[in-house]
């Protein structure tokens, strides 16, 4: 039997799904509850159920709530050994194609997308690439599309770029404007920014490379498996799937269809193996 708070959370999530189409019902319970309590504290209300009317009728309140509910932590070339391995292990294979499609999932404010674009440019792949950059939060998507970031982040970004195997001066790709850095508009030429919800939306077809790092950890197992099936169906044979350092495909029904390229860094390649059926015991 659910306690009163669990009932309030369920009603709140159902209200959001009915009003806006966002399905948070399969997010990991502990993380979700913690983030709802953060919104409750910010709002000044005493009970979770008190937030339901403003969520339904006040779009600004909903956007603030959504930002608390989603995780938007990112940086340029986050985890440099990962990007170095992509450059060394994945890029040579991508160079064998006349055209490539890449899907960067859950991009938050977009630093990973620009990191990827710079790497593809340096490897001579950008002009024959199309990058789909998706998130379900329109507020962070807008930031990503602008490509403008705080100047104080540039030291960390430059250090990460160098450690990841960058070939030029990082300053080549942006210009400073007071307390911000603005990335080269040419980097956006082959990027398509789009709203996509992993919990409800469908396949992006025939991808050569999918990056979805540090997103699945916020989902329960059932939603993780749904998303991994989505990635499996979106990848062409021999395409690459990249996950976060704390994420795994081992439990998933699609696991037999992938082989590790760099297991420690969660880089996998899709082969022709069959996905297993999910049994009642699974």
CA distance linking residue 191 with residue 102, whole number of Å: 9
CA distance linking residue 113 with residue 194, whole number of Å: 13
Task: Please give the pLDDT value at position 218.
Answer: 86
Query: Confidence class of residue 276 from pLDDT cuts 50, 70 and 90?
Result: low
Classify the phi-psi angles of 178: left when phi > 0, otherwise alpha if psi is within -120 to 50, otherwise beta: left
Task: Please give the pLDDT value at position 73.
Answer: 66
With CA atoms as reference, report the closest residue to 188 among 151, 222, 147. Answer: 147
Class of the CATH domain delimited by 80-270: alpha beta
- Please write the tens of the pLDDT for every residue from 146-200: 999 999 999 999 999 999 999 999 999 999 988 999 999 999 999 999 999 998 8
Task: Please give the pLDDT value at position 273.
Answer: 54
- Please write the tens of the pLDDT for every residue from 66-103: 888 876 668 899 999 999 999 999 999 999 999 999 99
Please tell me the least confidently modeled range out of 89-93, 252-256, 270-274: 270-274
Task: Please give the pLDDT value at position 282.
Answer: 31
- Please write the tens of the pLDDT for every residue from 48-61: 999 999 999 998 99
Q: What ranges do the domains of the chain cover? A: 4-69, 80-270
For the chain, counts of helices (H) and of strands (E): 10, 10
Which of 118-122, 178-182, 218-222 is modeled with the greatest confidence? 118-122
Which residue's entry shows tokens 């959504």? Answer: 66
Q: Is 120 exposed, middle or buried (0-12, 13-18, 19+ CB in 10 A)?
A: buried
Residues whose CB falls within 8 Å of the CB of residue 183, separated by 6 or more in sequence, listed in order = 114, 147, 148, 149, 173, 174
pLDDT beyond 50 at 278: no
Q: In the predicted model, what is the mean pLDDT of the chain?
A: 91
Q: Is 195 within 8 Å of 142 (Cβ atoms)?
A: no
Please give the residue that has the higher pLDDT: either 35 or 146: 146
Task: Please give the pLDDT value at position 281.
Answer: 32
Share of the chain above pLDDT 70, in %: 95
Q: Is 79 within 8 Å of 245 (Cβ atoms)?
A: yes
Task: Please give the pLDDT value at position 70.
Answer: 75
């Amino acid at each position: 039997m659910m306690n009163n708070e669990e009932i309030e959370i369920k009603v709140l999530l159902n209200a959001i799904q009915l009003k806006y189409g966002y399905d948070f019902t399969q997010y990991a319970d502990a993380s979700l509850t913690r983030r709802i309590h953060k919104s409750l504290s910010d709002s000044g209300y005493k009970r979770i159920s008190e937030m339901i009317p403003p969520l339904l009728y006040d779009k600004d309140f909903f956007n603030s709530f959504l930002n608390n509910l989603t995780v938007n932590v990112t940086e340029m070339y986050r985890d440099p050994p990962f990007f170095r391995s992509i450059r060394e292990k994945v890029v040579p294979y991508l160079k064998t194609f006349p055209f490539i499609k890449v899907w960067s999932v859950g991009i938050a404010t977009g630093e990973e997308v620009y990191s990827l674009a710079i790497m593809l440019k340096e490897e001579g792949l950008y002009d024959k690439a199309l990058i789909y950059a998706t998130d379900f939060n329109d507020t962070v998507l807008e930031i990503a599309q602008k490509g403008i970031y705080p100047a104080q982040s540039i030291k960390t970004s430059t250090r990460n770029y160098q450690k990841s195997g960058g070939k030029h001066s990082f300053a080549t790709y942006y210009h400073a404007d007071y307390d911000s850095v603005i990335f080269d508009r040419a980097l956006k030429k082959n990027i398509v920014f789009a709203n996509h919800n992993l919990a409800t939306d469908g396949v992006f077809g025939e991808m050569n490379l999918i990056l979805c790092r540090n997103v699945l950890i916020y989902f329960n197992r059932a939603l993780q498996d749904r998303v991994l099936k989505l990635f499996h169906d979106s990848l062409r044979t021999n395409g690459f799937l990249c996950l976060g350092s704390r994420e795994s495909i081992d439990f998933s029904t699609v696991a037999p269809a992938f082989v590790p390229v760099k297991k420690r860094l969660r880089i996998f390649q899709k082969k022709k193996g069959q996905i297993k059926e999910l049994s009642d015991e699974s």
